Chain A
Amino acid sequence: MKGHQSINMNELDKKLDGPSQQVIARAVSAMPEEDLSMAWRSQLNSQILAVAEAQVKRKRQLNIFWRPAFGLGLAGAIAAVVLFRPSASTPVTAPSIEGAIVQHHREYVGTYDLVSYGLSPIDARATGTVASPSPEWNESDLESF
């Protein structure tokens, strides 16, 4: 296999050095060499510059919009965290039905213990109009006990 490849390479070298290839080489060398015109180069430079400026302009325009927007967003987020941060001492929601149930029970039981034989909040109801009021007492009556 290696012998077959080396034969092919040798044949190829011989073909490249052959007279037909030499003719083509001479023809290519004889071709006139043209310089690029200054006008074309200038035009090319102008176009490159215009494209570059357009890209910079577009980037600037985007920055004009996005930078303040990003700044405002960041400031807003910080303000929201500072202003609306849930505090341990401040309830953030109105008392729920569950909270009201538990609170009522806790308050009534607590005051029940407190007042014992006295008037408890569960019984507390202001006296309405009495048809025939009983004789009024005062503290001196109490002290006379």
Chain B
Amino acid sequence: MERIRPRKLLKLNIVPVLVGFVLSSQSFGQSKLAMLHLQDSASEFPALLKLSVNNANKQRYSGVRVVEYRQNGNSKRYEEWVSRSGRKSRVEFPSSSEFAGQVIVEDRGERRHYFPDKNEVHISPARREDALDRLAGMARRAGKTKFTEQPGETIAGLKSILISLVDERGSIMQKMFIEPKTGIVLRRELFDRTGAPTGSFSFSKINLSPQFDDRIFILDPKGARTITPTDRIVEVARKDGYIAAALSGASGLKLDAVRTSTLSGEDVLMEIYAAGRERITLFQFKHVVNVDSMKLKRTSSGEFGTHSWTYRGHTFVLVGGPNAGALSKIAESLTVISKSGKD
């Protein structure tokens, strides 16, 4: 086994804060919020949100939901056909969709994503448990965050209660429209620190008494090749000239997804890990890139930790992290993957 030790371990100042939930608009002013019922402490989780979290493993429904998000300055919008039964879920796409034919099934802690064009099933840890659970944990930590509750809109024919997550300035960070009897989240909206929406989903149709065979949650197409995130790293590394390396699972991380992208004209391999309620992204550049550690730290504004180092002429950057100093420890667990797995 080859253990990679970063040449420089920088002193980090990782402040655990809400990851992914960012500040919101002044357009939702204090006067409007004053009408709402404000809970005094973040630990006072709204009863409806508790219901939603507790019922997440019991909900059964099928429906159509529209997902929108902004990424790299571009907006993306698509429709998903969703079937869900407790911890099991299945997502498909209309024939007119650019994702037509793809199927995503989650069951027993595993996520299987089928790509018909390549006849591949990509396997990763299930993500469903994360969302509201993460919200609960983050709200507990972010002491000055508050929840507001008020009657919501009728969505897909169902009445809802709107629960908003509000920061200490009174800006809305997130809105959740929840069906009060079942706790199903009918619509969810995220906002950035300027108040612009960064992403949302909303059900356009929903059936709370669906009739479906639970075998739809089995995804095992004949002859399909099974690809794990580690396989993806090896494949991309070989094809595009990256070092096939991953963070060790011993550090408590689960490799969730692998993707290539281009940042400021530089090709980069991104590995996304789940670490409890946190997400950590490992960026690998194919050569030495001048990443200014102090600038990186400033840019993250204390929202999450950052750590960068160079190995074998490649620059690595870690972003995310649960607490100070954790990233430099995690960086030490980077391990080169052999053909039969990690060395």
A101-B296 contact in complex given A112-B127, A118-B201, C-beta closer than 8 Å:
yes
A133 closest partner in B (C-beta): B101
Query: B128 in the interface, Cβ–Cβ < 8 Å?
Result: yes
Instruction: Report the minimal beta-carbon distance from B113 to chain A, rounded to whole angstroms.
Output: 6
A122 closest partner in B (C-beta): B257
Question: Is A145 touching B62 in the complex (CB atoms < 8 A)?
Answer: yes
Question: Is B283 touching A101 in the complex (CB atoms < 8 A)?
Answer: yes
Name B306's contact: one of A96, A100, A102 (CB within 8 Å). A102
Name A104's contact: one of B100, B200, B263, B290 (CB within 8 Å). B263
Question: Is A98 touching B291 in the complex (CB atoms < 8 A)?
Answer: yes
Question: Is B64 touching A128 in the complex (CB atoms < 8 A)?
Answer: no
Residues of A within 8 A of B135 (CB): 113
Give the B interface residue count (CB, 8 A). Answer: 85
Query: A142 in the interface, Cβ–Cβ < 8 Å?
Result: yes
Name B188's contact: one of A97, A114, A125 (CB within 8 Å). A114
Task: Give per-residue flags for A2-44: 1 if the beta carbon is below 8 A from chain B beta carbons, else 0.
Answer: 0000000000000000000000000000000000000000000
Query: B149 in the interface, Cβ–Cβ < 8 Å?
Result: no
Give the A interface residue count (CB, 8 A). Answer: 49
Instruction: Report the minimal beta-carbon distance from A39 to chain B, rounded to whole angstroms.
Output: 83
Query: A99 in the interface, Cβ–Cβ < 8 Å?
Result: yes
Residues of A within 8 A of B304 (CB): 105
A97-B291 contact in complex given A104-B263, A111-B69, A114-B188, C-beta closer than 8 Å:
yes
The complex places the Cα of A125 from the Cα of B113 at a distance, in Å, of 11
Query: B151 in the interface, Cβ–Cβ < 8 Å?
Result: no
Count of chain A to chain B residue pairs whose CB atoms are closer than 8 Å in the complex: 192
Question: Is B116 touching A134 in the complex (CB atoms < 8 A)?
Answer: yes
A105-B98 contact in complex given A113-B20, A121-B76, A142-B81, C-beta closer than 8 Å:
no
Question: Is A98 touching B64 in the complex (CB atoms < 8 A)?
Answer: no
Task: Give per-residue flags for B289-310: 1 if the beta carbon is below 8 A from chain A beta carbons, else 0.
Answer: 1111001100110011010000
A121 closest partner in B (C-beta): B71
Name B100's contact: one of A98, A99, A127, A142 (CB within 8 Å). A127
Can you list 16 A-B pairs with a CB-CB distance of less than 8 A? A96-B292, A101-B291, A102-B299, A103-B72, A106-B22, A107-B70, A110-B190, A113-B131, A117-B82, A117-B89, A118-B65, A119-B80, A120-B127, A121-B76, A130-B101, A139-B81
**What 10 pairs across the A-B complex have the smallest Cβ distances?**
A128-B117, A109-B20, A110-B20, A100-B263, A117-B128, A116-B131, A126-B98, A105-B319, A117-B89, A145-B212
Since A112-B279, A123-B104 are in contact, a sample of 14 more A-B pairs with Cβ atoms closer than 8 Å, ordered by chain A residue number, is A97-B266, A101-B317, A106-B20, A107-B69, A110-B20, A112-B20, A115-B69, A115-B201, A119-B91, A125-B115, A127-B99, A134-B116, A138-B95, A139-B64
Name B's A-contacting residues (CB within 8 A): 19-22, 62-65, 67, 69-72, 76, 78, 80-84, 89, 91-95, 98-102, 104, 106, 111, 113, 115-118, 122, 126-128, 130-131, 134-135, 188, 190, 194, 198-201, 205, 207, 210-212, 256-257, 259, 261, 263-264, 266, 270, 272, 279, 281, 283, 289-292, 295-296, 299-300, 303-304, 306, 317, 319-320
